[in-house]
Amino acid sequence: MKKEDLKKTMNSIQKKKNMLSYHTTSKKGNLLSDSLDERVKYAFRNPIKHLFYGLLFIFSLFFSSCQDIDPMDSRIEEGAKIKVTLRLLSPSPISNSLQTRAQTDAESNVQELAILVFENNEYRYTAIPQNINSSGGVTTLNTYFQTTSSPVDIYFLANADDIIVNNPLTIGDSKAAVREKLTSAFASSGINSNFPMFGVYSSANGLNGSIGSITSISLLRTIARIDVDASNVSGNFQLVSIQAFRVNNSVQLIPDSMSNVMVTAPSIPSGSLANIHTTVITPTTTDISSTSQLYLPESAAPTVANQLSEATCVVIGGYFNGSTIITYYRMDFNPGSSANPFGQILRNYQYLFRVNDISLPGAETAVEAANNKPTGITAQVLDWDINSMSLNFQGNYYFEVSSRSVILGSLPGSFSDLTVNTNVSEYTMEWSKSDGTGDGSPSSTILDNGVFRVEQLNGGATIRFTALTENTLPFPFNDHVLISAYGMRILLSISQPRFKVTPNPIIISASGGAGYALVTSSSLWGGISNQSWFSATTGVGDTLKWTATQNTTSSLRTGNLLVKNLDGEQISVPFQQNIPNNTVLNVYSLRSGFAFLGAGPTIGTADARAQGLKGILTRAANFGLAGSVNMNGFNFSESTVLPHTLNATTLANINILYMNLPGAVTDVNAAGATAALNWLNGNPQRVLIVGYDLNTNANMLNALGITNVTYYVDTQGTYPMQFNSDTQYFSNTGPFTAYPNKAITNPFSFRNYDVYYGEINTTSYPNITPILRGPHGNSLLGVDYTRRIVYVGDIDLFSALAGNNANTNNYIQNTTGIINSDASRLIANLWAWVTNTALGVTP
């Protein structure tokens, strides 16, 4: 034997001795009351009594904790030998190791096993496993219990000897006390092998001498497994790192409650803190995926208000679109079902993050990504209980399907088959709700609800899903089927999306370049285009990438992109490339009060409360010849004399009049307000923006007929965005939120910078469409599409300063124009509407 092997053996023996020494006290004051070490020493110090005490020592190993029972009492049969058989399926059983059925040997290995016995809900003693043997996927072991008529619970704790030694139990401990004691720390390095596991056997009638075996003890891992699959985006993203943030720093070995070898709620140790950021790991499959690498303890779902800052999340890093700089993307545990709320992680579950699209560079650091909303990434989270998929609780039965989800084509007759791997002779299917609650009558042959048909073929070895109707709607048809087999319950999802391409039509900037479209299809697809200046590739997953050369002509360039899939469906998508727009728009603001834009392109000439906005407007990637809004930038000028010079001559060449928030009512007199109104009405390509935090623009509002305005001085909450068909340009379809950019998340509220803001009564002015409502329910940011007026009740919407109620998503984050929050997307889209209106382009 090697020295290291001998050392391991001695350490293991010492662990067992330490565990036993906790449970050997006796009221009788005889040899059984001594510690294990003392009993060994005593036996071998007395060679004459060697045999007697050796036998007594062996006997005491099994019954040393049962002090109050007289071994000579013939009414109770002592030392009934019970053979415990764990019928746990394993693809590759390992000699002398118990194994649960799992996807890797490391996840299923049982190197150590402790058996805790409870009578009447109190801990009594620890039984010692013997003769562990694995053969043909079934592991057996022997141990000795003491017969009793009291209710018994037997806890099986795998790979947990260190936890038990470090948290000694006391005879009489309740089950709740044992749960609280048996916890262990979770470090940033995580757990990657010999996972602690728990199983239980209960008998209300106790244990009698006639019981010979206990079968089908199923073990439950204490941790969850997290996999990442980025193969769908390998065309424009190279995966290089995976990391978890805000992970609990302790693990509870025994769950608070469980049913049928599964849990429905996390068990978090008292005092556990979600302060662990795991060590960065690299993909198992280079650049594409991570499998069986990241394992996490359970996590509770945070409140909705704290999801961004408190939820455990996964952050991936990689190279986007050929870049040499790694950027980072956050992914949340949000499978989308009521049974598995946002941020919750359950033991023995497997979570697969399938990255379906990456459209933008991510955050500069992993920490930044973890502390902000996901941007530039679309990821689907699939979760399932590993035992419900792989283990049966009736012994040697198992049931597996090739996939938990089915996607069908939009045409009737589209079908998809799942392969079943089982040794169950018969199983049933029934329609189900998304939470796994049965919603129909079980059938062992066929289900048909008029939308989908589900049938067993080939003696149940295949499940076929067929679409019975055509989906012509913009949203998918969805349903669920619940499989039941020998106590196993497997939930399958069905989806029939409409075959579509978004956006449709595809609008291309005159400068050309590359862009993306989103394809929703049930099968592989491809694109065809015959234009010399436009080409489209099939891309990867759901992303269609197109490229176009620069348009140097004086006319629109148009064409059609034909997209086909393997289901026989096709879509003709028109595309159009705009004429180069060299127009420079003149923007005029008032240099007094707050949030003026200043003169010239320098951001510093603007008031501090408008520098966030000016950064957006002067960034060429936003507003420029190659920008999201095609034009040649802005010429900023201002009025510097009080009262402000607003007359026909001054305003003649102005395209956008931005009346920020003057310092006093007299700064814009009635004559100036009338001149501004005449200017606006004089040309349909002029736009007016009016601030009204205070009443200092009262003359302008009066000239516009707006008198029912309330000015507030409080901080009663944020400004909720209105999501409807009248505001979708600002939340979804505008150039800064249309695909491949990220739409604004519903719900969204803008921060309230200071105590000053105004609200226009929406009932009095139905022509004003509220984009943001104030805390008192009326319009804070609104647009009058007909008159081309934007009303701004808090000019600090344009500021990059944090202020009250601020988080990383609800205000403009910088003065450089980078669009990295829902607030900046909204303001950029607002000015895109203003700009396109001034250009005469339909927004």
pLDDT at residue 5 is higher than 90: no
User: Secondary structure of 495-514 in the HEC alphabet?
Assistant: EECCCEEECCCEEECCCCEE
Q: What's the distance, Cα to Cα, between the start and end of the chain in Å?
A: 80
> Where do the DSSP E strands lie in 273-396?
289-296, 313-320, 326-332, 349-358, 377-385
Q: Residue 250 pLDDT > 90, yes or no?
A: yes
Q: Quote the pLDDT of residue 83.
A: 57
Q: pLDDT tens digit string along 543-578? A: 788 889 888 888 889 998 888 877 778 888 899 888
Give the other-Cβ count within 10 Å of 236's Cβ.
19
Q: According to the model, what pLDDT value does residue 698 have?
A: 96
pLDDT for residue 19? 47
472, β-bridge pairs: none
Q: What is the pLDDT of residue 24?
A: 36
Determine the average pLDDT of the residues in 805-825: 94
The fraction of the chain above a pLDDT of 70, given in percent, is: 82
Query: Rounded to whole angstroms, how far apart are CA atoms 515 and 735?
Result: 12
pLDDT higher than threshold 70 for residue 738 = yes
Pairing of strands 130-135, 138-144: antiparallel
* Predicted local distance difference test score (pLDDT) of residue 215: 67
pLDDT of residue 94 exceeding 60:
no
Tokens coding 709:
């305005």
Confidence check: pLDDT of 257 > 70: yes
**Spatial contact of 42 and 34, defined as CB atoms under 8 Å apart:** yes
How large is the average pLDDT for residues 18-38? 35
Q: Strand order in 349-358's β-sheet?
A: 289-296, 224-229, 349-358, 377-385
CA angle, 628 as apex, 623 and 630 as ends, to 5°?
A: 60
CA distance 760 to 690: 12
pLDDT at 749: 96
Mean pLDDT over 186-198 rounds to 87
In whole angstroms, give the CA distance from residue 351 to residue 349: 6
pLDDT, residue 64, reads: 32
Give pLDDT tens digits for 479-496.
Answer: 999 998 877 778 899 999
Pick the closest to residue 565 from 542, 531, 535 (CA basis).
Answer: 542
**Mean pLDDT computed over every residue of the chain:** 82
Distances (CA, A) of 181 to 200, 253, 263: 17, 9, 20
pLDDT average, residue stretch 747-763 = 95
Higher per-residue pLDDT: 389 or 290: 290
pLDDT tens column, 703-727: 999 999 999 998 778 999 999 999 9
Q: What is the pLDDT of residue 380?
A: 66
> pLDDT band at residue 134, thresholds of 50, 70 and 90?
low
Q: Is 741 a residue whose pLDDT tops 80? A: yes
Q: Report the pLDDT averaged over residues 45-63.
A: 35
- Model pLDDT, residue 131: 72
Provide the pLDDT for residue 288.
Answer: 86
pLDDT of 781 over the 90 cut: yes
Q: Are 811 and 603 in contact (CB under 8 A)?
A: no
Q: How confident is the model at residue 139 (pLDDT cuts 50, 70, 90)?
A: low
Residue 474: name the closest of 728, 254, 225 by CA.
Answer: 728
For 187, list phi and psi in degrees, rounded to 5. -100, 170
Strand-pair partners of 465: 416, 454
Segment 269-298 mean pLDDT: 90
Question: Does pLDDT of 258 surpass 80?
Answer: no
Higher-confidence position of 529 and 253: 253
Between 537-541, 652-656, 689-693, the lowest mean confidence (pLDDT) is in 537-541
**Residue 304: pLDDT band with limits 50, 70, 90:** confident
pLDDT band at 49 (very low <50, low <70, confident <90, very high): very low
Q: Which residue has the higher pLDDT, 612 or 582?
A: 612
What stretch of H or E contains 701? Answer: helix 698-703
pLDDT in the model for residue 6? 41
| Cα angle for residues 530, 535, 540 (degrees, 5° grid) | 125
Burial of residue 265 (number of CB atoms within 10 Å: 0-12, 13-18, 19+): middle
Mean pLDDT of 814-841: 95
Length of the chain: 843
Pick the more confident residue, 841 or 597.
Answer: 597
- Residues 198 and 253: beta-carbon distance below 8 Å: yes
- Grade residue 73 by pLDDT with cuts at 50, 70 and 90: very low
Contact 715, 750 (CB under 8 A): no
% of the chain at pLDDT higher than 90: 47
Q: How confident is the model at residue 666 (pLDDT cuts 50, 70, 90)?
A: very high
- pLDDT at residue 46 tops 50: no
How much is the pLDDT for 374? 86
Which residue's entry shows tokens 């194994």? Answer: 99
Which range (81-85, 312-316, 324-328) has the least confidence? 81-85
Confidence of residue 213 (pLDDT cuts 50, 70, 90): confident
Nearest residue to 593 (alpha-carbon basis) of 692, 499, 689, 496 = 692
345: phi > 0 → left, psi -120 to 50 → alpha, else beta; which? beta
Domains and CATH numbers, the chain: 16-69 (no CATH), 79-221 (2.60.40.2580), 224-386 (2.60.40), 397-496 (2.60.40.10), 500-577 (2.60.40.10), 585-839 (3.40.50.880)
